[in-house]
Amino acid sequence: MRAMRDVWGEKLVELGASDPRTVVLDGDLANSTKADKFAKAHPDRFFQMGIAEQNLIGTAAGLAAVGYVPWTSSFTVFFTHRAIDPIRMLVAQSCANVKIVGSYSGLLIGAVGKTHLDIQDLAIMRAMPGITVLAPADEAEVLAMMDWAHAYDGPVYLRLVRDAVPDLFGADYNFVPGAVHQLRAGSDVALVSTGPQTARVLNAADQLSATGVSVSVVHVPSLKPLDEDALTAALLHHHLVVTVEEHSIYGGLGGLVAEVLTARSPAPRIERIGINDTWGESAGNDFMLDKHGLSPERIAHRVSEALARVPG
Amino acid sequence: MGSRQSAHEQVTRLTTDTVVPDYSDLPGLARQARWQVIKTVTSNKAGHIGGPLSMMDLLVSLYFHELRIRPEDPDWVDRDRFILSKGHAAIGLYAVLALRGFLPVDELVTFDKGDSRLQGHPDVTRLPGLDASTGSLGQGLSVGVGMALGAQRGNKDFHTWVLLGDGEIQEGMVWEAVQVAARYKLSNLTAIIDRNGLQQFGLPSTSETTRTDRGDRRDPWFGVDLAAVFQAFGWRVLEIDGHDYGQISNAYQLARSGDYTRRPTVIIAHTVKGKGLSLAEGVHTWHSIVPSTDDFEKARQELEADEIDLLDAYTHRTRDNRVETHATQGANSGNPVLENGARA
């Protein structure tokens, strides 16, 4: 159980050592994102772009065009909002080999308030043709995704969080783009999650199981591409599917699952747990998770209520 | 340089064949390219004219005398990079690429049409010979910064050139790139500003601005000393007449040879929007317009004469792969290039 940003920073150092094409572009947040580890290990390939994220993305695209493998360092919100037009034209439309990594996604980034919270990045990046959209849950998944992304010739968006996250997978974890992971098999309700929220969902599943509910848990680390058949197979036989994400209920995992399942018939009832069309605020992690229904207790409660409404 | 001289001799010899461009005739090539722009936009019934025409002498000089490129090997890894940041002038670039042998001249009629390689704005995924996609303004210089930074770190000696519009540099992202280029001492990067003094709509002239206005529109940078601004940001500034081939050539050579304090170079090239077509010169409404039948006829009279020698380098190259592609040296007018923002 280590902070995701530390895992990322150390892996960057390793990629820099194994591949001289590796470069890192920072938007003056390296000591927060932990790209400073790379700056120390490979100073000639660490580029300080200053507080100017649009140019950071454009410069990364230019470096990619002449053979480098650029990784970016800032908070997600400054990429997916501030720099979205260069991401659209210079990275996505140009199929540039840029690895856009936003640390500090979601709600749990320290008490900084709504200006710095990114609860729309999945919706924005999913709607961007050509970009692979990944949300790892733990250290093993971050490492596997970084290895895959570095070897893959094309744009990747990697959604990281600030804090320590529990380990779900072992060191033998093998990342396959599009794959979904069934972590629990049940029959009453299927909980679907992505990123570190999956750990809290597993905790909620334990609480529900203790009350006699048979729960499936499905982890979707690759929002794009997605093996829609595998997702459907894991979910369709349940009467109730509940999506849970540290993101707006619009356009992220909940939207994705609804899009896939409603194209099949008969579709299960779908409940979406997430940030309910509102902004965040300055607050501690526990307050945030509780307020937005993302704590294990709140998830279990919401699922119990929903089950009571679903005809068995 | 000796190699340039021998390349020039070889081209001169080849031009006895009527399908090979005469690379020393920049005015003829520019007139030809301008005519292809007018013809294409008219037949397509959409496109831009003013911007492609204002930059044409800069572009023709670059592609026929300066860029180290290989039309037969457009992905050559050590080639110079060129980015048309003012992507709406794409048809002007396509016309020059066609004359230079990157695509057949008769492909220009597909401009802006479905499935065409010649999209309304340059699409790097479709046409070999392009180095970046542009169109959303103000982004090309950042890509150039990345390419120049990569060349610097990789000890590559290719030069990166970015052509921007003077309206376009209102975008804030341009000034992000300006800062970073100076900080990283990218003297292998040159920005060329097509300073035609007009943008799509802008503002009307006032009694205050009329002294420097073009026609009845206000200069987007009225009251701003752009040369001083770039200099203050740590760039070397060359200010030229963007229609004088001698000044252009001198500026390009100075830019490529670098700067002793390793500053990036900006060439502020004063141009006339719509240049080469008398009825369009300096008229902002020609930014994006489809010429009327009468106007097209006037353009034909001014520009078409050269088409009898239509020079299809692409067809020639693919036929027997004989065209010498190394840049050749054009005639100099001998006019001085003014350094550091001095004005003519």
Interface of A with B (CB under 8 A): 23, 44-45, 47, 49-50, 52, 54-55, 57-68, 70, 85-86, 88-90, 93-95
A25: nearest CA partner in chain B: B146
Looking at residue B170, its pLDDT comes to 97
Interface residue of A22, A24, A59 to substitute, partner B, most B CBs within 10 Å: A59
How confident is the model at residue A312, as a pLDDT? 59
Residue B142 with chain A: CB contacts under 8 Å: 54-55, 57-59, 61-62, 86, 90
Please state which of the ranges A35-49, A58-72, A253-267, B278-292 shows the lowest mean pLDDT: B278-292
Decide if pLDDT at B342 tops 70: no
Partner A contacted by B127 (CB < 8 A): no
Question: What is the nearest CA distance from B88 to chain A, expressed in angstroms?
Answer: 14
* C-alpha span between B90 and B127 (Å, rounded): 12
Task: Tell me if A90 and B173 make a contact (CB, 8 A cut-off).
Answer: no
pLDDT, tens digit (0-9, with 9 covering 90-100), for A89-139: 999 999 999 999 988 999 998 888 999 999 999 999 999 999 999 999 999
What's the confidence (pLDDT) of residue B289?
Answer: 84
Cβ burial of A281 (10 Å; 0-12, 13-18, 19+) is middle
Q: Shortest CB distance from A90 goes to which of B143, B150, B172? A: B143
Task: Please give the share of chain A, as a percent, with pLDDT higher than 70.
Answer: 100
- Summarize pLDDT for A197-218 with one digit per residue, the tens: 999 999 999 999 999 999 999 9
Decide if pLDDT at A1 tops 90.
Answer: no
Indicate yes or no: CB of A90 within 8 angstroms of CB of B133.
yes
List the single residue in B with minimal CA-CA distance to A69: B150
Q: Rounded CA gap, A142 and A173, in Å?
A: 10
Tens of pLDDT, residues A147-171? 999 999 999 999 999 989 999 999 9
Q: Does B54 touch chain A (CB under 8 A)?
A: no
Residues of A in Cβ contact (< 8 Å) with B148: 62
Give the mean pLDDT of B270-290: 89
DSSP string of chain A?
Answer: -EEHHHHHHHHHHHHHHH-TTEEEEESS-HHHHTTHHHHHH-GGGEEE--S-HHHHHHHHHHHHHTT-EEEEEEEHHIIIIITHHHIIIIIITTT---EEEEES-BS-SSS--TTT-BSSHHHHHHTSTT-EEE---SHHHHHHHHHHHHHS-S-EEEE--SSEE---S-TT----TB--EEEE--SSEEEEE-TTHHHHHHHHHHHHHHTT--EEEEE--EEESB-HHHHHHHHTT-SEEEEEEEEESSSSHHHHHHHHHTTSSSPPEEEEEEE-S----S--HHHHHHHTT-SHHHHHHHHHHHHHHS--
Q: Residue A243: what pLDDT?
A: 98
- Is the pLDDT reported for residue A17 higher than 50? yes
The whole-number average pLDDT for the span A274-288 is 96
Contacts 24+ apart (CB under 8 A), B225-231: B225/B341, B226/B166, B226/B193, B226/B195, B226/B268, B227/B268, B227/B340, B227/B341, B227/B343, B228/B341, B230/B178, B230/B266, B230/B268, B230/B341, B231/B340, B231/B341
Band (B149; pLDDT cuts 50, 70, 90): very high
What is the C-alpha to C-alpha distance for residues A182 and A152, in angstroms, rounded to an integer? 25
Give contacts of B147 with chain A, Cβ < 8 Å: 62-63, 65-66
pLDDT at B330 over 50: no
Closest approach of chain B CAs to the CA of A278, in angstroms? 30
With CA atoms as reference, the chain B residue closest to A61 would be B143
Give the integer Cα–Cα distance in Å for A73 and A91. Answer: 16
Question: What does the pLDDT look like over B7-16, one tens digit per residue?
Answer: 434 443 344 3
Phi, psi of A179 (to 5 degrees): -70, 145
State the nearest Cα–Cα gap between A288 and chain B, in angstroms. 35
Query: Shortest Cα distance from B78 to chain A (angstroms)?
Result: 9
Closest in B125, B136, B146 to A59, CB measured: B146
Per-residue pLDDT of B123-143, as tens digits, reads 999 999 999 999 999 999 999
- A89 and B77 within 8 Å at the Cβ level: the answer is no
Contacts of A54 in chain B (CB under 8 A): 139, 142, 172-173, 176
Q: Which chain B residue has its CA at the smallest distance from A50's CA?
A: B180
Lowest average pLDDT, out of A230-239, B301-310, B314-323, goes to: B314-323
> Tokens 């001095």, residue?
B342
Share of chain B above pLDDT 70, in %: 83
* Per-residue pLDDT reduced to its tens digit, B176-186: 999 999 999 99
pLDDT at residue B312, rounded to an integer: 66
Q: Kindly report, residue by residue over B45-93, the tens digit of the pLDDT.
A: 888 999 999 999 999 999 999 999 999 999 999 999 999 999 999 999 9
- pLDDT tier at B251, thresholds 50, 70, 90: very high
- Residue B296 identity: F
Cβ distance of A50 and B135 shorter than 8 Å: no
Residue B317 reports pLDDT greater than 80:
no
Q: What is the mean pLDDT of residues B252-280?
A: 95
Q: What pLDDT is stored for residue B307 in this prediction? A: 57
What was the pLDDT predicted at B305? Answer: 59
Identify whether the C-beta of residue A62 lies closer than 8 Å to the C-beta of residue B144. yes
- Chain A, chain B: beta-carbon pairs less than 8 Å apart: 106
The per-residue pLDDT for A89 is 98
> Is pLDDT at B120 greater than 80 in this prediction?
yes
- Cβ–Cβ < 8 Å for B128, B74: yes
Residues B331-340 pLDDT 10s: 333 333 444 4
Taking the CA of residue A56 and the nearest CA in chain B, the distance in Å comes to 8
Question: Which one of B143, B151, B153 has the shortest CB-CB distance to A58?
Answer: B143
Q: Which of B127, B133, B143, B158 to mutate: most A Cβ within 10 Å?
A: B143
Residue B139, chain A, CB below 8 Å: the answer is: yes
User: Cβ contacts (< 8 Å) between B88 and chain A: which residues?
Assistant: none
Candidate from A44, A55, A64 with C-beta closest to B177: A55
C-beta atoms of B150 and A63 within 8 A: yes
Q: What is the pLDDT of residues A30-39, one digit of tens each?
A: 999 999 999 9
Query: Does A110 or B166 have the greater pLDDT score?
Result: B166
Q: Given A58, A66, A95, which is nearest B151 (Cβ)? A: A66
Question: What pLDDT was estimated at residue B310?
Answer: 57
- pLDDT of amino acid B3: 40
Residue type, A258: A
Q: B209 or B244, which is more confident?
A: B244
B306 reaches A (C-beta below 8 A): no
Chain A residues with CB under 8 Å of B161 CB are none
- Give the confidence band of A266 by pLDDT, cuts at 50, 70, 90: confident
